Amino acid sequence: MKNRTIKVDYLARVEGEGSLYLKTKNGAVVDAKLKIFEPPRFFEAFLRGRAFTEAPDITARICGICPVAYQMSAVHAMENALGITVDGQLRSLRRLLYCGEWIESHVLHIYLLHAPDFLGHQDAIRMAKEFPDVVKRGLRMKKLGNAIVTLVGGREIHPINVKVGGFYKLPSRAELGALTEELTWARDAARETITLTASLTFPEFDQDYEFVALRTDDARPEYPMNEGRIVSSKGLNISVAQYDQHFAEEHVEHSNALHSAIKERGSYFVGPLARFNLNRDRLPSAIDKAARAAGLTGKCTNPFKSIIVRAVETLYACEEALRIIREYEPPAKPAVATEPKAGTGYGCTEAPRGILYHRYMLDAKGIILDAKIVPPTSQNQKTIENDLRHFAEKHLHLNDEQLTWQCEQAVRNYDPCISCATHFLTLTREQV
C-alpha cells in the first residue's frame, strides 16, 4: 500500500482553530497530530494582579461556547480560597444555570456540528433542506438552553449575573415558572433526540480508555456538575485540591495548547462519555431506561456514540431544570458575603466537554498572585491523537476524501473546543 499524508488545514465545525495531520508509511500510521494553532491569549498571566471578584468575568472570555463553566469553576475556586460555601437555593440556581449551558452546548454539537457527519452533509444548513423538522427542533431546543442562561445569567454569552458568593440579582418564582412550558416540550424533544441519535450508524471502535469525571458524595447522590471528587475508571479517587499531584501538563511543539496526562498512566478521557460511565447510577431510573432503550446497556467505550450520551445528558438537564424550578423559593439574599483573605483555592466543575480545573493563589487583599486553568480539550488532546492513529490504521483502505472526513468526525466526537484549549484541527496525510 502506498504511503500518504492527509492534511486538513482548518478543521471545520469545531470551536476554534486547529488542524489535523496524519502520516502513513507502508500501510501503518507513523504520525497522528491534532495541531492547535489558535493564537495563545495568556489568561493565566494577566489574571495576576486582578481582584478575586474579577475572575468569573475575565475567565468567561476564554470560551464563548461554555462561559458558564469558566464562571462556575472560578467562583468555586475562589469560595474555596475564602473558606465559604454557597448552598441551598443559591446552589440550585447555579445548577440550573449549568443545565442551561449543557442543553445549549450539547444541542449545538448534536444538531449543528456532529449530526451532519453521520447524515453526510457539509453542514446543518444544507442538512436542513433534507431534514427541516430535525434542524428546527434542534434550533428550538438550543434556544431554550439559551433562555435559561439568559434568565439566570443575564445573557447567553458571557453572563453578567454570576459573582463569587452567588448572584447580583435573583430571579422570581414567576420568572422561572415561565420556562416550564418550553422545558416540558424540550424534555420530550430530548427523548426524540435520543431516538434519533441511536438510529445513526456507528463505526466499530471500542477503546480501552481511562475515563475521568467528578463524582459527588454518597450523601448527595446526584449527577455531577459543580462539585465532587475526581474519580477514574482505573481507580483514581482524589479531592480537587490533589489535582496537581496526579495530573501534569506537557508543552508540545505542534500545539499552542498544553497536553495533560495522568502522571502514573498517561492519556485519559473527560466529557459526557466519562461522566455517564462513572455516574450512571446517579441518573434517575427513567433516564437510565431511555439510555438502555438507545442501546447503551453497559459501559460505553465507543467515542462515536458520545452523540447518544449527549442526548441522554440533555434529557437529564431538562428534567433537572424542571425539578429545580418546581422547588425554587427565592433565598433571603442573592449572595453570601465575601471578605478577602490570603490562601489558595481549587475548583473543578463539569463543563459540557468535561472537567475544568481552576486554581488561584490570593494575597490578603484578595489580589490574584497566581492562576492555573486546565480546560477539558487539552485534557482530551492525547486521547484524540491516539484515536486518530488507531482509527486511521483500521481505515486506510478508504480514499483520501473519505478518510479525511471520517478522521474529522473522530475528532468531532470530542466536541473539541479549541478556543479553550489554547490555552486545536486540519488533516494532513503525508507520504514518506
Partner 1 sequence: MKRTPTLAVWKFASCDGCQLSLLDCEAELLAVTERLTIANFVEASREVLKGPYDLSLVEGSITTAHDAERIHKIRRISKTLITIGACATAGGIQALRNFKDVKEFVSIVYSTPAYIETLSKSTPIANHVYVDFELHGCPINKNQLLEVVNAYLNGRKPNIPAYSVCVECKRRGIVCGLVAAGPPCLGPVTHAGCDALCPSYHRGCFGCYGPKETPNTGSLTSWWKQSGMKDDELLRLFRNFNAYADAFRKESESHEK
Residue 38 lies near partner 1 (rule: CB under 8 A)? yes
Q: Which is nearer to ligand SF4, 159 or 271 (CB)?
A: 159
Q: How far is CA 187 from the centre of its chain?
A: 20
Interacting partner of 412 out of ligand SF4, partner 1, none (Cβ under 5 to 8 A depending on kind) = none
Interaction between residue 320 and partner 1 (CB under 8 A) = no
How buried is 111 (Cβ within 10 angstroms: 0-12 exposed, 13-18 middle, 19+ buried)? Answer: buried
Report the residue from 7, 25, 61, 254 that binds ligand SF4 according to the rule CB under 6 A: 61
Q: Which helix (H) or strand (E) holds 22?
A: strand 18-25
Q: Does 160 bind ligand SF4 (CB under 6 A)?
A: yes
Q: Which does 228 bind (CB under 5 to 8 A by kind): partner 1, ligand SF4, none?
A: none
Pattern 193-222, partner 1, x by CB under 8 A:
------------------------------
| Cβ proximity of 327 and 88 under 8 Å | no
Q: Which of 25, 44, 64, 302 binds ligand SF4 (CB under 6 A)?
A: 64
**Applying CB under 8 A, what is the total number of residues that bind partner 1?**
65
Which residue blocks in 337-414 are alpha helix, DSSP H?
Answer: 376-394, 400-412
Report if residue 17 touches partner 1, rule: CB under 8 A: yes
The closest of 408, 324, 368, 411 to 78, measured between CA atoms, is 368
Grid cell digits, residue 160: 453578567
Which of the residues 348 through 407 are near partner 1 (CB under 8 A)? 405
Q: Tell how strand 428-431 and strand 229-232 pair up.
A: unpaired
Closest CA to 303 of 279, 269, 278: 269
Q: Which does 169 bind (CB under 5 to 8 A by kind): ligand SF4, partner 1, none?
A: partner 1
Helix H, strand E, coil C: the string for 40-61 is CCCHHHHCCCCEHHHHHHHHHC
Footprint of partner 1 (CB under 8 A): 10-17, 38-46, 48, 50-51, 54, 57-58, 61-65, 67, 108, 112, 116, 122-126, 128, 135-136, 139-140, 142-143, 146, 154-158, 160-161, 168-169, 250-253, 256, 258, 334, 405, 408, 419, 423
